[in-house]
Structure 1
Amino acid sequence: MALLQPLLRLLLLRPPPPPPQRTPHLPPPSASTRRVAAASAAALLLLAAASPPPRPARAEPGGGEDDVDETHVVRLFEGASPSVVFIKDLLVVAQPRGRDGRGAQPVYDEEGGATVEGTGSGFVWDSSGHIVTNYHVVAKLAGDGSESHRCKVFLEDSSGTSYSKEGRLIGYDTAHDLAVLKVDVDGDKLRPALIGTSRGLRVGQSCFAIGNPLGYEHTLTTGYPIGG
């Protein structure tokens, strides 16, 4: 009996267990509710059918900024290249005296044995045949008292055909490394260069140079101004 009393007190002090929860009873969906659900499902199916699946990203050929830049450079070269000339400073050689007794004839053609003393670039200044180049290209021609040097200028006509003419030195400025040649060519066969100004150039802008370095005709080089 003494052992039952503490056990009864412990049972009386414990809180009663919570009542069991009942599952709420939901009424069956009405006809209008079923119609709304069916319409919503049909709408989702229509949207899925109307929207094509996403395609993997790919690079489209042409039309990019790089293509636009390349096209601009190509057009610039094609437009300015006919105004650029290739200049050769040739050392004249003499053909041996002929059997007919006539004197030796000067030859300033490479095929005839003339030696190329130097090469350079220039551009057509006007339709009168004036060619602007650097003085160092024709320096030997300028200081040649024996007339053993000749200058050969290679040009392009409107069809892109290359031809050559002898260039006569008519003036030069050693301090600014400039020289002017004259070729006898019909004005309609010449393409004078469009002369601009360097006043608006800024460091970092793109610049393009067309020339004939090391004897390679009509090459294009790109760069940037690095100082004012």
Structure 2
Amino acid sequence: MSQPPSSNSKTIVLPLLLAALLGGGVAAGVTAFIVDDSGGDTHTTTVIRQPAISSQGANSKRSNAAEGLTAADIYQRYAPGVAFVRSEITEQTQNPFDPFGGTQRSESTGSGFVIDAGGDILTNNHVIDGATPGSITVQLADKKTVKATVVGKDPSTDLALLKVDPEGLALKPLPLGSSKDVHVGDPTIAIGNPFGLDRTLTTGVVSALQRQIQAPNGFAIKDVIQTDAAINPGNSGGPLIDSAGRVIGINSQIETGGGSGQGNVGIGFAVPIDTAKSILENLKKGETVQRAYLGITSLTVDGQLDALNLPVNHGALVQTVEPNSPADIAGLKAGDLQATLSGSSSNDTVVLGGDIITKVDGKAITTSDQLSQLVTNHKPGDKVKIEIVRKKETKTLTVTLGKRPPALQTG
């Protein structure tokens, strides 16, 4: 991805916070967390935004008549629709005594939930990623275990759709709500299979909104719901439910406080249900979700950068340009002056001297997140006009957006 600074590059120290976004959706931040990966592997993710505080508050009046169900009510109605997902993972291993290597088998466990009477079950992609063909099974409330097939998956949102034969099964679909209706302080209920303990219920509240986490393939998942309902390994893919019994998110990752990832510390993350609904038809058809891709990381230009005396006071400062990406082909440039960020325990750095993107198709860019969203709103193959400031000179580049690669390139 990013190239290391050259041997003659300079280093300065600045009191900044890094919030870099890869055009098309990748983020990098300063606080590392561990993915709830039931298969045993760990990945890192980041949180780079402050909680969104609702102006309405948790006590605002809602029009839905179903409000006010107790946790017991919700569990009785909807726990039968939560599935225990198991699969067999086969991995190649390195053996110094065997030049041909070997294989290691393990079981991945997680959760899922029924979304319709036809046998569709939504879960996390990392729950079934790498599963041996034919090894995925689903156990429902009646303890009956049935085979499941992968209909579609989207690694960039860490979502997958499974299907079981509904014949002879008493399927209990869970109603899907809207994550747009969620407020900080709203009650939340998580149902899943932590540590293999089937259909376990935990409760809490929405503790923050508009979080950003990193999918196992390196790309960012935005507008994530943060909750203090206990989420542990095995909860992945299970529903996060509101007080009306509607699914508002898919439990996906946990913060571990820098530990080994073996337990809950009160912060979990759920992919918003609106994200799932936006790609559900693609998943049902087995289609690959195509997203536009620019191929840069960038940093928001705002008041925190005033000390740098930049030529503009808004925009997105280019940090890295992926080789052979649409941005690279169009001529976007990154800088070569490395700045170390003081106030960060992880010694994060930011690269200065690159292009500053100020407009996309005539729309002023005020944040890196806005730039990323504008790219996401396009389709691969679209041409966009990008206005940049390069060493005090304004230029306009035409970029033909590409297809987002399957995974973020890191080397």
What is the TM-score normalised by the length of structure 1? Answer: 0.52
1:90 Cα deviation after fit = 2.4
The answer to whether 1:184 aligns with 2:165 is yes
1:105-145 CA distance string (max 9 Å, x none) = xxxxxxxxxx652100000011111111000000012xx5x
> 1:72 aligns to what?
70
1:81 to 79, 82, 102: 79
2:109 to 116, 119, 123: 119
Query: Structure 2: which amino acid aligns with 1:89?
Result: S
1:150 to 131, 135, 143: 135
1:130 to 117, 120, 141: 120
- Indicate the SS of the match to 2:156: coil
- Structure 2 unaligned residues grouped into runs of 5+: 1-68, 91-104, 210-411
> 1:103 aligns to what?
none
> 2:89 touches 2:130 (CA, 8 Å); kept in 1?
no
Query: Structure 2: which amino acid aligns with 1:87?
Result: V
> 2:146 aligns to what?
165
1:199 to 177, 180, 190: 180
Query: Structure 1: which amino acid aligns with 2:180?
Result: R
- Indicate the SS of the match to 1:199: helix
> 1:4 aligns to what?
none
- Indicate the SS of the match to 1:89: strand
Runs of at least 4 residues off by over 3 Å: none
What is the TM-score normalised by the length of structure 2? Answer: 0.29
> 2:45 aligns to what?
none
> 1:88 touches 1:116 (CA, 8 Å); kept in 2?
no
- Structure 1 unaligned residues grouped into runs of 5+: 1-70, 93-114
> 1:127 touches 1:187 (CA, 8 Å); kept in 2?
no
Query: Structure 2: which amino acid aligns with 1:121?
Result: S
> 1:84 touches 1:155 (CA, 8 Å); kept in 2?
yes
State the distance in 2 between where 1:194 and 1:116 align.
Answer: 33
- Indicate the SS of the match to 1:189: coil
State the distance in 1 between where 2:120 and 2:171 align.
Answer: 10
Q: What pairs up with 1:3-82 in 2 under 5 angstroms?
A: 72-82=70-80
**Percent sequence identity over matched residues?**
36
> 1:86 touches 1:155 (CA, 8 Å); kept in 2?
yes
State the distance in 2 between where 1:212 and 1:88 align.
Answer: 11
1:95-114 CA distance string (max 9 Å, x none) = xxxxxxxxxxxxxxxxxxxx
Give the structure with the higher percent helix. Answer: 1
- Indicate the SS of the match to 1:224: strand
> 1:128 touches 1:187 (CA, 8 Å); kept in 2?
no
1:186 Cα deviation after fit = 2.1
Give the structure with the higher percent strand. Answer: 2
> 1:218 aligns to what?
199
